[in-house]
């Protein structure tokens, strides 16, 4: 079981790593107490791009290490992360980065992006 987001983009929040309100990081606004309703349009694109860049800069050279780790592993635990020098904060930022990229791509493709995030 998990928490999902659905609408113009769809996905599952990373368990114990990613908050339901992580899209707020990219400038969206929460509306509903049971779900967070997000809406982005082209006016938000600069802010979304800026936060994507912030996350990428924050992860720095670790981004490639994290991408390789998740490409090579179907699951993970804290011991596996520690063995390769990846912190929980890095994983959280990486999960948010994936969502930010989905939001960006959706805005670019259709001019807006709307979705509900389960709490």
Q: Which of 82, 90, 103, 75 is nearest to 17 (CA)?
A: 90
Maximum distance among all alpha carbons in the chain?
Answer: 42
Whole-number pLDDT of residue 22:
87
- Which residues in the chain land under pLDDT 50? none
Whole-number pLDDT of residue 103:
97
Domain positions in the chain:
4-118
> pTM of the full predicted structure?
0.75
């Amino acid at each position: 079981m998990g928490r999902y987001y659905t609408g113009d983009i769809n996905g599952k929040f990373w368990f114990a790593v990613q908050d339901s309100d992580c899209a707020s990081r990219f400038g969206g606004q929460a509306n509903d107490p049971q779900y967070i309703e997000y809406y982005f349009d082209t006016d938000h694109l600069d802010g979304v791009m800026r936060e994507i860049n912030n996350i990428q800069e924050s992860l720095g050279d670790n981004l490639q290490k994290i991408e390789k780790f998740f490409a090579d592993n179907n699951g993970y635990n804290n011991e596996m992360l520690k063995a390769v020098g990846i912190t929980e904060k890095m994983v959280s930022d990486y999960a948010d980065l994936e969502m930010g990229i989905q939001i960006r791509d959706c805005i670019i493709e259709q001019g807006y992006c709307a979705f509900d995030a389960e709490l």
